Homo-oligomer: A and B are copies of this chain.
Amino acid sequence: MARVVQKFGGTSVASLESIKSVALKVKSEIDKGNEVAVVLSAMAGETNRLANLVTSVTSTYDPREYDSIVSSGEQVSIGLLAITLQEIGVTARSWLGWQIPIRTDGAFQKARIQRIDCADLLEDLEKGVVPVVAGFQGMGPNNRISTLGRGGSDTSAVALAIALKAKQCDIYTDVDGIYTSDPRIVAKARQLKQVTYEEMLEMASLGAKVLHTRAVELAMKHRQRLRVLSAFSDKPGTLVVDEGEIMEQELVSGIAYSRDEAKITLVRVLDEPGIAALIFGPLAAANVNVDMIVQNASAGGGATDMTFTVPQEDLGRAIEVLEESRAKTRYENLLSDNEVVKVSVIGVGMRSHAGVATRMFEALAEKGINIQVISTSEIKVSVLIAEVYTELAVRTLHSKYGLD
């Protein structure tokens, strides 16, 4: 007998029929002899509907009230699953964040879980009762309801699995698992049987939207086994595990891309110590997340060119901030470009193999694709290229690294 946490997202509980399917998934896990706790999101669309009510009143709302309002979506879905489980003969009860409690810090709208007191849940599990737990929510200071931020239910599920010492945390979603690349643009993309936490983390932050980054970080920290699988099929999905658990690591496990990038170049900026702080300090203060940064070799005359990327939605704000600080940074010209894409090659195997990056550059050069910016980490190489080459680049690299 193993203890398993099953997490189902909004599309899996979008209607009463979907909730019925979820109930059957839970029952089949129990029929295998396992102890099961379930974590749910709100019915698809509910969180958006509730958030829109709030922002229609004001954009400067009290985050504590926002959290209390939007967390009501999970209150409905968990109750509905509990009665649906009871209806098919599975004893179950719903648990709200404050009832357990799942204690969080006071950063409303993006709270972090501090502690889960799961004595009551363990008692339920021992009695054969399935706890159906509200994802996304916890209890902050002064007994106020907090939420973990959009997509936070994945984090709830992982945190609960850790607290309950579950053997595995199964994240049911609307895809079959993790793929070597986006199947919508790479027809030959294969589903991975296993992937390491590190790779999953890079994939999540580089545009693969299957798992919430914070959930993967948490799982990695506590070595909690995760599985990503479809709520709508019976396929085995992809295991996200520790590197040590994977016997033969492939060199590259996936090709990711993100269109959500914008490039900014400051032409002939002052070339002197402290200039980077003068540029990026005000951007950080304005909450603009700067990603890839390249400083070109000095163009001479005490000036240099500085290129970097920001999320597309922050481009306008970034330009404003840079213009305000122009008196200090004294750049000659500001160029910006929305039509770019970041393509990344990911794999823990890179650590022990040289030449992975070179092979990438060669492959892109062969197709005549110009690389605008490069950034690397221990387990990934990312390049910024013109957006029109997205499909060509991703498919080419997918073949080049033997993933087809």
Contact = CB atoms under 8 A, between A and B. Distances in A.
Contacts of A16: 53, 56-57
Contact of A57 (B71, B75, B80): B80
Interface in A49-87: 50, 53-54, 56-58, 60-62, 64-66, 68-69, 71-73, 75-76, 78-80, 82-84, 86-87
Interface stretch (A91-99, A297-305, A339-347, A388-396): A91-99
A245 B61 CA distance: 45
A391 B54 CA distance: 46
A377 interface: no
A143 interface: yes
A83 B96 contact: no
Interface string A37-56: 00000000000001001101
B80 A54 contact: yes
Interface of A: 16, 19, 50, 53-54, 56-58, 60-62, 64-66, 68-69, 71-73, 75-76, 78-80, 82-84, 86-87, 93-94, 96, 98-99, 143-145
B72 A75 contact: yes
Contacts of A143: 99
A80 B62 contact: no
A366 to B, nearest CB: 57
Given A68-B75, A69-B76, A75-B75, A87 B57 contact: yes
Contacts of A145: 96
A83 B54 contact: yes
Contacts of A75: 68-69, 71-72, 75
Q: Top 10 closest A-B pairs, CB basis?
A: A69-B79, A72-B72, A65-B79, A72-B75, A61-B83, A68-B79, A65-B82, A65-B83, A58-B87, A99-B143
Contacts of A53: 16, 76, 80
B62 A50 contact: no
A61 B83 CA distance: 6
A36 to B, nearest CB: 18
A96 B83 CA distance: 23
A57 B66 CA distance: 29
A71 B94 CA distance: 14
A70 to B, nearest CB: 9
A108 to B, nearest CB: 12
A53 B13 CA distance: 13
A135 to B, nearest CB: 15
A218 to B, nearest CB: 26
Contacts of A69: 75-76, 79-80
Contacts of A73: 72
Given A56-B16, A98-B98, A99-B143, A83 B68 contact: no
A156 B94 CA distance: 25
Most B-side CB within 10 Å, residue of A54, A76, A87: A76
A99 B144 CA distance: 8
A76 B83 contact: no
A50 B75 CA distance: 11
Most B-side CB within 10 Å, residue of A71, A79, A143: A79
Nearest to A69: B79
B56 A83 contact: no
B72 A57 contact: no
23 contacts: A16-B56, A16-B57, A19-B57, A53-B80, A54-B79, A57-B87, A58-B83, A58-B86, A58-B87, A61-B86, A62-B83, A62-B86, A62-B93, A64-B93, A65-B79, A65-B80, A65-B86, A68-B75, A68-B94, A68-B96, A69-B76, A72-B76, A96-B145
